[in-house]
Amino acid sequence: MSLKVNDLVTEFATRRGVVEALHGISFEVGENEVVGIVGESGSGKSTVVRSVIRLLVPPGRVASGTVEFAGRPLLELRESELRAIRGKDIGFIAQNPFSALNPVLRLEKQFANIAKAHGVKADDGARRRAVDLLAATGVSDPERVIRGYAHELSGGMAQRVVIAMALYLNPRLVIADEPTTALDLTVQRQVLDTLRRLTVESGRSMLIVTHDLGVVNAYCQRVLVMYKGSIVEQGRVAEVFTAPQHPYTASLLSSASPPIEPAEAEVVPSQPLEVATWPSSK
Amino acid sequence: MIRYIASRLAIAVGLLLGLMTLSFGLVSLLPGDPAVALLGEYATPADIARIHGELGLDKPLWERYVEYIGRTISGDLGHSFFTGSSVSQELWTRLPNTLVYLVPGLILALLLGLAMGTFAAYRSGRLPDKTFTAGVSVLMAMPEFVLALLLLFVFYQQLHIAPAPLGMLSSSDIPPPKVTGSVVLDAVIAGKWKVFGSIFSRAVLPIVTMGLFFAAPFGKTVRTGLLQILHSPQIEFARACGLRPFQVYRYALSDVRAALMTYMVLLFAAALSGAAIVESVFSWPGIGGWSLDGVLKGDMPVIQGFVFVMGATSLLGYVVLDTLITLLDPRARAVAIRGRSSRSSLDTPSLDTPIPHQ
Ligand SMILES: Nc1ncnc2c1ncn2[C@@H]1O[C@H](COP(=O)(O)OP(=O)(O)OP(=O)(O)O)[C@@H](O)[C@H]1O
Ligand SMILES: [Mg+2]
């Protein structure tokens, strides 16, 4: 269940002609691996994520390249086939929970809609799983929360709800685009810990975009460094951070505060989470 | 909840009072003497004084104002200077005639606009969208009466499938027994479905005129709103969760709902006050032609009554709508009911397609 991206080129049609935003990008996310994407603003991190699961809207468009997930060529699938993969096999965690959640629907309804979209009956069992998942992400009083609306939550709680929705159908791969940037510093860490617990420690893979090298250092095994639409360096975090090969990586590291102490992200094995089980029969 | 609705009602009453003042002020302070209009240019001063006395125009302004407010509240909008008929009675019999084509016309505009705007938004930048944009520009540049005449030319003159634009009933229709005075309502009350059908068949072209005319700006509003939301993080997340296209569309619509409802009420008000044009073309006995006549003759009570009733209808529509929108949106509802502010902002996207002038 790995993700293989090969020579991906994405372009935007603007008034001043076609602008290439990604200039042929290749990387992999292996089984049960956490890969971080770092790079300055505008370097194309979000564009990578959107291109991979085909969330780009015009004027953006993938011009060439291949994306392979679990052996299937994502860029060649029909829209309906891809839709069945999104949310079910690949979960997506948005940057800002308040702009991602539907403001006028109760959260339980939003969970139910996700289930229905994938042919899962939105019955009591499905609802109980949503509640359990909310509890597992650290939402207090999940029974009350799920009956309410997004605006009643704090930022940290809302992002936990988004995480629960992304994990609802037990995806193998989770893609997160700056999942904690919109949150208070104090809760960023908690949410990231939750995310790690529910993804890599439960046997999933994760591709996480961040501009925080500390996050990469603490949570990722491998890192992609992006600069102006290209990956200028990629490798194991410990190696890249101790001996950066590209000058841009070096400047990124030297400008980081506090300075990064290279340390292999250790995966603490923990008991498998019961929430990760979902009746395999539909 | 009850306190919230009560506060809305209080606002409505205040606005109505303001509207009465406005409709009184507009007409009373305008130049032009109704007695002269009534008697012609060669009237003697004595005659003019007599008419002034009859119409109460010799009293001081504030006295007339208080009288006007009192009468209006009791439902009496005065009598036409020229025909002597009761303005409220005229409005009551004519308004249903107007609504019988105006409401279906707006519903048609809503459906057409929603369909076209959605199609254009989903095909944004491609041929269907460009066709839509061009079509909207043409329709919006076309005055309503040109559209009406065009439809008449094609469907009456050339294809002979539409009835002649000679009013609501043909000479062979037997008018229903008089109960309310409004032919439409009386036909429904008496169960004369043949008469009602005849009215409706004559209303088809006015309905299509309204439908096409208002579909253009409405479709444009739908397109603008949908384009905005389809590029939003909310829809991106919905798609990333694998929701089906129709579910995604419903999420998007629920976001532009408030803006569309608001626009619909604006269109209703615009359509109501602009009914004169369609009604002149089709010789339709509604409020439009009647009020136009009143304006041309300087028939003060008719103008006042028309301004007041149209204004009041739009106002009430607006207050009801505003309350509805608030109660439909959980964020706004929380603020309105408990009086506490919520975390997220409440701004609905502002969709600024201008209301067409007629
Ligand atoms: N809608 C668009 N139209 C035109 N160009 C775009 C559009 N979206 C992105 N781009 C281009 O793609 C480049 C990469 O944007 P992207 O959002 O992927 O950057 P990012 O690395 O995610 O930045 P940030 O850290 O600010 O989120 C931008 O520099 C911009 O030139
Ligand atoms: Mg980004």
CATH number (domain holding residue B146): 1.10.3720.10
Q: Which of B231, B240, B343 sits opposite A92 (nearest CB)?
A: B240
Residue B212 sits in the same domain as residue B335: no
Q: Mean pLDDT: which of A231-235, B19-23, B150-154 is highest?
A: A231-235
Residue B177 inside a domain? The answer is no
pLDDT given at position A263: 54
The answer to whether the CB of B110 falls within 8 A of the CB of B257 is no
Residue B202, pLDDT > 80, answer yes
Residues B160 and B261 in one domain: yes
Contact flag A86-B334 (C-beta cutoff 8 Å): no
- Residue B350, pLDDT score: 42
User: What's the pLDDT band for A282 if we cut at 50, 70, 90?
Assistant: very low
pLDDT band at B12 (very low <50, low <70, confident <90, very high): confident
pLDDT category at B54 given cuts 50, 70, 90 is confident
- Same domain for B216 and B237? yes
Higher-scoring residue by pLDDT: B194, A93: A93
Mean pLDDT (whole number) for B222-233? 90
Residue A206 Cα to ligand 1 midpoint, Å, equals: 22
pLDDT of residue A101: 94
pLDDT grade for A268, boundaries at 50, 70 and 90? very low
Same domain, residue pair B115 and B51: no
Q: How far, in whole angstroms, is CA B284 from its chain's centroid?
A: 16
CB contact under 8 A, B125 and A58: yes
Nearest residue (CA) to ligand 1, atom 18: A44
Q: Whose structure tokens read 């094609």?
A: B154
What mean pLDDT is predicted for residues A10-24?
91
Comparing CA positions, the residue from B73, B126, B132, B117 lying closest to residue B259 is B117
Nearest Cα to Cα of residue A74 among A2, A23, A24, A170 = A2
Residues B315 and B271 occupy one common structural domain: no
Is a pLDDT exceeding 50 seen at residue B174? yes
Q: How confident is the model at residue B236 (pLDDT cuts 50, 70, 90)?
A: very high
Confidence of residue A206 (pLDDT cuts 50, 70, 90): very high
Whole-number average pLDDT of chain B: 81
The total of structural domains in chain A comes to 1
Q: What are phi and psi of B174, to 5 degrees?
A: -90, 120
Q: How many helices (H) and strands (E) are present in chain B, helices listed first?
A: 15, 0
- Residues B62-73: what's their mean pLDDT? 86
Residue B255, pLDDT score: 85
A96 touches chain B (CB under 8 A): yes
Contact between A99 and B234 using a beta-carbon 8 Å cutoff: yes
Percentage of the residues of chain B whose pLDDT score is greater than 70: 91
Provide the pairing of β-strand A72-73 with A60-69: antiparallel
Mean confidence (pLDDT) of chain A: 87
Do B120 and B160 reside in the same domain of the chain? yes
pLDDT by residue (tens digit) across B240-272?
A: 999 999 999 999 998 888 888 888 888 888 888
Please report, rounded to a whole number, the percentage of residues in chain A having pLDDT higher than 70. Answer: 90
* CATH code of residue A155: 3.40.50.300
Q: How many of the other CB atoms lie within 10 Å of CB of B353?
A: 19
Query: Which pLDDT belongs to residue A171?
Result: 92
Average pLDDT over residues A275-280: 47
**B62 and B143 in a common domain:** no
Decide: A59 in ligand 1 pocket, CB within 6 A.
yes
In a domain, A271, yes or no: no
Cα Rg for chain A, rounded, in angstroms? 19
Is residue B8 situated within a structural domain?
yes
Q: Between the CA of residue B323 and those of B9, B269, B303, B319, what are the distances in Å?
A: 10, 18, 30, 6
* A51 Cβ below 6 A of ligand 1: no
Residues composing chain B: 358
Neighbours of B337 (CB within 10 A): 14
Selection from B256, B265, B170 nearest residue B214 by Cα:
B265
- Domain containing A93 equals 3-255
CA distance B294 to A254: 81
The response to whether residue A41 sits with its C-beta less than 6 Å from ligand 1 reads: yes
Task: Compute the average pLDDT of residues A237-256.
Answer: 85
Containing structural domain, residue B233: 96-168+203-286
| Mean pLDDT for the stretch of residues A72-79 | 92
More confident site: B83 or A106: A106
- Centre of ligand 1 to C-alpha A70, Å, is 28
Cβ A39 under 6 angstroms from ligand 1 = yes
How many whole angstroms separate alpha carbon A156 and alpha carbon A187?
Answer: 6
**Distance to chain A for B346, nearest Cα, Å:** 10
Residue A282 lies in a domain: no
Query: What's the whole-number mean pLDDT along residues A51-73?
Result: 91
Is A112 a residue whose pLDDT tops 90?
A: yes
Asked, for residue B196, whether it belongs to a domain, the answer is: no
Task: Tell me how close the Cα of B11 comes to any Cα of chain A, in angstroms.
Answer: 27
* pLDDT number for residue A224: 93
Query: Is B35 in the same domain as B72?
Result: yes
Q: How far is CA B245 from the centre of its chain?
A: 34
> Does residue B141 surpass a pLDDT of 50?
yes
Structure tokens at B354: 């201008």
Asked whether the predicted pLDDT for residue A1 surpasses 70, the reply is no
Lowest mean pLDDT among A39-53, B71-85, B178-192: B178-192
Which residue in the set B237, B242, B328 is minimally distant from A94, CB to CB?
A: B237
Q: pLDDT tens, A162-201? A: 999 999 998 999 999 998 887 888 888 888 888 888 888 8
| Cβ distance of B124 and A162 shorter than 8 Å | no
A21 lines ligand 1 (CB under 6 A): yes
Q: How far is the CA of A43 from the centre of ligand 1 (A)?
A: 7
Q: Whose CA is nearest to atom 30 of ligand 1?
A: A42
Taking an 8 Å cut-off on Cβ atoms, the answer to whether B241 and A114 are in contact is yes
CB contact under 8 Å between A85 and B241, yes or no, is no
pLDDT for res B356: 54
Q: Residue A69 — pLDDT band, cuts 50, 70, 90?
A: very high
What is the residue with the minimal CA distance to atom 6 of ligand 1?
A12
Minimum CA distance residue for ligand 1 atom 26: A41
Q: How far is A248 from chain B (nearest CA, A)?
A: 30
Tell if the CB–CB gap between A53 and B344 is shorter than 8 Å: no
Please, what is the Cα angle at A164 between A159 and A187, to 5 degrees? 30
Substitution candidate for ligand 1 out of A9, A10, A46 with most atoms within 8 A of CB? A46
Q: How far away, in angstroms, is A58 Cα from ligand 2 center?
A: 17
Amino acid B43: pLDDT: 73
Distance CA A76, CA A73 (A): 6
The answer to whether B70 touches B63, Cβ cutoff 8 Å, is no
A273 inside domain? no
**Nearest ligand to the C-alpha atom of residue B231:** 1
The verdict on residue B179 lying in a domain is no
Does residue A23's CB lie within 6 angstroms of at least one atom of ligand 1?
no
| Banded model confidence at residue B349, pLDDT cuts 50, 70, 90 | very low
Q: Do residues B157 and B267 both lie within one domain?
A: yes
pLDDT digits (tens, 9 = 90+) for B325-334: 888 888 888 7
B229, B235, B237: best to mutate for the A interface, most A CBs within 10 A = B237
Decide which of A262 and A168 is more confident.
A168
Binding site membership of A19 for ligand 1 (Cβ less than 6 Å): yes
Q: Which residues of chain B make contact with A149, given a CB cutoff of 8 A?
A: 330-331
Q: Count how many Cα atoms sit within 13 Å of the Cα of residue B130 in the half-sphere of its side chain.
A: 3
**Does the beta carbon of A46 sit less than 6 angstroms from any atom of ligand 1?**
yes
Mean pLDDT across the stretch A97-106?
92
pTM score, whole prediction: 0.80
B272 and B303 in one domain?
A: no
Cβ contacts (< 8 Å) between A86 and chain B: which residues?
239-242
Q: Give B233→chain A minimum CA distance, Å.
A: 5
Question: A112, A97 in Cβ contact below 8 A?
Answer: no
Q: Is A272 part of any domain?
A: no
How many structural domains comprise chain B? 2
pLDDT exceeds cutoff 60 at A228: yes
Domain end call among B286, B308, B338: B286
Look at residue A258 in the predicted model and tell me its pLDDT.
63
How far, in Å, is the centroid of ligand 2 from the Cα of A177?
A: 7
- Please judge whether B237 and A104 are an interchain contact, meaning their C-beta atoms are less than 8 angstroms apart: no
pLDDT digits (tens, 9 = 90+) for B288-338: 888 888 888 878 888 888 888 888 888 888 888 888 888 888 888 877 776
- Asked if the model's pLDDT at residue A150 lies above 60, the reply is yes
Instruction: For ligand 1, say whether the CB of A45 is within 6 Å of any of its atoms.
Output: yes
Per the DSSP assignment, residues forming a β-bridge with A5 are: A27, A67
Evaluate whether residue A122 is within a structural domain: yes
